Amino acid sequence: MADALAIAILAAGKGTRMRSALPKVLHRLSGLTLVENVIASTALVVPTRKIVIVGYEAEQVKSALTHIPDLEFVEQRQQLGTGHAVQQVIPALAGFTGNLLVLNGDVPLLRPETVERMLQTHHDNNNAATILTAQMEDPTGYGRVFTDDNLVVKEIIEHRDCTLAQRENHRTNAGIYCFRWSALMDVLPYLKADNDQSEYYLTDVIKDLAPVMAMDTAPAEVAGINNRKQLSAAEVVMQNRIKDELMLSGITLINADSITIDATVTVEPDVIIEPQTHLRGNCVIKSGCHIGPGALIENSTIGENTRLVHSVVSDSAVAAGGRIGPFAHIRGQAHVGENCRIGNFVEVKKSTIGNNTNAAHLSYLGDAELGEQVNVGAGTITVNYDGRNKHKTVIGDRTKTGANSCLVAPITIGADTTIGAGSVLTKDVEGDCLVFARSPQKSIPGWKPKYLRDE
């Protein structure tokens, strides 16, 4: 397909039925906004221009899409229908020759393969327009598309205008189009709003274009999102797609219905994911991992052959061979080295943990740098906050902290040091030594007050 391609995505509406201050296209579906899912559906085609038509909360929509390269924006200040929206791109496409693909920002389940096939159909038949259609089981309320045996469109009739016989036709208009731009420009500037809604409908150009062809796809692909119930139904569809693809690629999902995985997650083969596990954001789960049950991992990388159970990891990285949990919390740009154990009720925040280091239970490691083969005793706390600022703790290789140790930062503990249990350290410690800080043990006889002794 040598013709130049421009894509226009309609994303100007408020979405009143969502009952939300958030623009409809910014509601999330499997980790991406609705409009990001629509953009993802174009992954198999190579457009020369990508234009998003914004309106309601335009700046918010633009800001949410700044990470996507080469997007252009045009504004539809008044939302006067689909035809009016596409009219807004006319100045931006001055001098353009090629085809225009029109997508809806609230139709997020369209598959990239369907978009590719639609454009191929458009090109192979030299169509002036190609319409995506779906055979709906219950087409009530949808405009009907009438074609001949070769799928050449004869007319589109709105449901309310159909006769009883015409309503037996279940081929419906999905509102997704590919136009030869030069042919569309002969009609689009002259659209009229001669209807009850006083809006400019893109379907009105079809009767003045030829040839126009329909292409059927599965109804689920073209389901629009107008309310939270439809968003929930779309989530089920998207999750099934994601999990089917993962299982066929060599990943075991135990009780898949209880697991959620965002579209932005990468899972390598030979991973086992157990029930009630949720993978969100830009996660990478390396091969050989056993994740869950009951894990939440967000925007993090989990290295090969790591076992992670009943724990939370966010915005962090765990290297290969880790044993995480149960009930561990790793967060805030933490980096856990190879073959480390982060055990039950251990929190690691914005810290670097060296290879082969163990923190087995009941500890807090915040703003810390631990070397290799460190053993963190139960109840070890890095006291990193003075009420205003966070301070760093450094622990050298092979050092051991005793149970219930408090390391008051800023502090550096040298390598090969053993810290006695119950110590509160406030000063730096040289390496290769035993250090402890305890108050002398005292016994006070007869300590009970009189009212207790008389009982």
Question: Using one digit for the tens of pLDDT, what is the confidence trace for 260-287?
Answer: 999 999 999 999 999 999 999 999 999 9
Q: Per the structure block, which two tokens stand in for 371?
A: 């070397």
84, 170, 361, 391: the active-site residue: 361
Question: Using one digit for the tens of pLDDT, what is the confidence trace for 119-155?
Answer: 999 999 999 999 999 999 999 888 899 999 999 999 9
Question: Using one digit for the tens of pLDDT, what is the confidence trace for 106-123?
Answer: 999 999 999 999 999 999
What distance, in Å, lies between the first and last C-alpha atoms of the chain?
A: 96
* Cβ-based neighbour number of residue 288 at 10 Å: 17
What percent of the chain shows pLDDT beyond 70?
Answer: 99
Q: Find residue 437's DSSP bridge partners.
A: none
Per the listing, tokens 């439809």 go with 230
Domains of the chain: 5-222 (3.90.550.10), 228-435 (2.160.10.10)
The per-residue DSSP string of 133-202 comes to EEE-SS-TTSPEEEE-TT-BEEEEE-GGG--TTGGG--EEEEEEEEEEHHHHHTTGGG----STT----G
**283 to 265, 266, 296: CA distances (angstroms):** 5, 6, 11
Using only C-alpha atoms, the chain has a radius of gyration, in whole angstroms, of 31
The amino acid at 174: A
* 129-135/171-180 β-pairing: antiparallel
Q: Per the structure block, which two tokens stand in for 448?
A: 């009970």
Instruction: State yes or no: is 361 an active-site residue.
Output: yes
* Predicted local confidence at residue 21, as pLDDT: 94
Whether 1 has a pLDDT exceeding 60, the answer reads no
Highest mean pLDDT among 34-38, 163-167, 172-176 belongs to 34-38
Q: How far is CA 61 from the centre of its chain?
A: 16
**pTM confidence score:** 0.91
Question: Using one digit for the tens of pLDDT, what is the confidence trace for 176-202?
Answer: 999 999 999 999 999 988 777 778 989
